Amino acid sequence: MRDTRLTSRRLPVAVAATAALALTLAACGDNGDNGADPEEPGTENGDENGDDPADESDDDAAGDGGTITLGYLPSWTDGLSMAYLLDYHLTEAGYDVVHEEFTEAGVLYTALASGDVDIYPSAWLPLTHGSYMESYEGDVEDLGMFYEGAVLTLAVPEYSDIDSITDLPDHVDALGGQIVGIEPGAGHMEVTADTVFPTYGLDEAGFDLAESSTSVMLTELEQAMNAEEDIVVTLWRPFWAYAEFDVKDLDDPEGALGDPEGLHFIANSEFSAEFPDVADWLGGLTLDDDTYGALEGAVAVDHEDDPAAGVQQFQDENPDAVPSID
């Protein structure tokens, strides 16, 4: 089995970005969903200078198709899964793949617009990441949608008596006046704060939207469920957590969380001109529910510490699911 971690390089952050940018970038050893915080740049597979010892050999073994940098938040497993899936196929086609990991969506889009990152492989559009696309219009391009029907949710344990967002004000004390959120730069946080809260009067009811991270949110959910306590968290579909936790979505009768969205490949505006074959391949790539679920389950659940092994498992079990690059 080919190990893409050995054939892919991780850019030392200080080299790849400005000083301000470097403060917010993080190379991450795990997929962020086991409660661990992202590591500091250059601490995994790297020497004291943050250099990856595999880089030199990678340079020698680099494919002849050129270098493509994938940017994503490893704690957002849709982007993590798709990044390693693209890595698999791009490497097979002769491209040298670099992974650049972030902890804030806003910084990722800045890097994408500036050309430090070539592709963000799982943008939620048109709602969740719509403000970023507007901010960087002309500097980024949409290569196409690969999954449709993605939705943002607020969820509670299945045993909860709460069934609708409209019920939340009646349970503010039991919930500690808190909705447990994720990364502060996430579009879900923006939609929840700017639309859900005023629509349902959650501020007036005494709720706060707690900023944390995906891994912390999932840890809070697990601990509450182990104690059979009430909790409400920000979730989304597709997401492997629905297979791991017995939770239910709260009804959203006012539609404040928005209509279903699509997951898109977003690239720097010059990408299609530089890599037309890859742009065409991505533009024609689609995954249905079953296929996407198999990919994320293999990466985020079966091989949570080795996403490349998860993709290899997915490829072995679904050899015809994703076409090769011509």
Task: Indicate the pairing of strand 96-101 with strand 247-249.
Answer: unpaired
Higher pLDDT: 296 or 154? It is 154
Whether the pLDDT of residue 13 is over 50: the answer is no
> Cα dihedral angle (184, 84, 119, 72), rounded to 10 degrees?
10
- Which of 60-74, 117-131, 177-191, 245-259 is the least confident region? 60-74
Q: What pLDDT is stored for residue 63 in this prediction?
A: 59
At residue 146, what are phi and psi to the nearest 5 degrees?
-110, -15
Q: Which residue has the higher pLDDT, 173 or 17?
A: 173
pLDDT at 243: 78
Which residues are within 8 A (CB) of 95 and not within 5 positions of it... i.e. 6 or more apart? 63, 65, 66, 67, 68, 278
Is the pLDDT at 35 greater than 80? The verdict is: no
Per residue in 176-234, pLDDT (tens digit) is: 999 999 988 888 999 999 999 999 999 999 999 999 988 899 999 999 999 999 999 99
What is the per-residue pLDDT for 305?
A: 92
- Integer CA distances (angstroms), 53 to 12, 58, 93, 132, in order: 11, 9, 24, 35
Q: What is the pLDDT of residue 176?
A: 96
Nearest in space to 140 (alpha carbons), one of 163, 164, 119: 119
Helical (H) or strand (E) element with 98: strand 96-101
pLDDT at 126 over 60: yes
Mean pLDDT of the chain: 82
Which residues, including other chains, have CB under 8 Å from residue 288's CB and lie 6 or more apart?
A: none
Mean pLDDT of 139-156: 95
Amino acid at position 226, single letter: N
Q: Where in the chain is the domain with CATH 3.40.190.10?
A: 67-149+261-318
State the Cα–Cα distance between residues 281 and 284, nearest whole angstrom: 5
Residue whose tokens read 């720097």: 268
Whether the ω angle into residue 126 lies within 30 degrees of 0, i.e. cis, is yes
**Which residues sit opposite 144 in a β-bridge?**
265
Is the confidence at residue 169, as pLDDT, over 80? yes
> Band of the pLDDT at 132, cuts 50, 70, 90?
very high
What is the reported pLDDT for 57? Answer: 39
Higher pLDDT, 266 or 104: 266
pLDDT of residue 237: 87
User: What is the reported pLDDT for 5?
Assistant: 27
Tokens of 290: 């079953």
Q: Give the lowest-confidence range in 49-53, 64-68, 103-107, 265-269.
A: 49-53
Query: Do 24 and 104 touch, CB atoms closer than 8 A?
Result: yes
Residue 161 gets which letter from DSSP?
Answer: S
Superfamily of domain 67-149+261-318: Periplasmic binding protein-like II (3.40.190.10)
- pTM comes to 0.70
The amino acid at residue 32 is G
What are the tens digits of pLDDT across the range 252-310?
Answer: 999 999 899 999 999 999 999 999 999 999 999 999 888 888 898 899 888 989 999 99
Residue 173, SS3 per DSSP: coil
Q: Does pLDDT of 58 surpass 70?
A: no
Which among 23, 1, 3 has a CA at the least distance from the CA of 97?
Answer: 3
Question: Which CATH architecture group holds 151-249?
Answer: 3-Layer(aba) Sandwich (3.40)
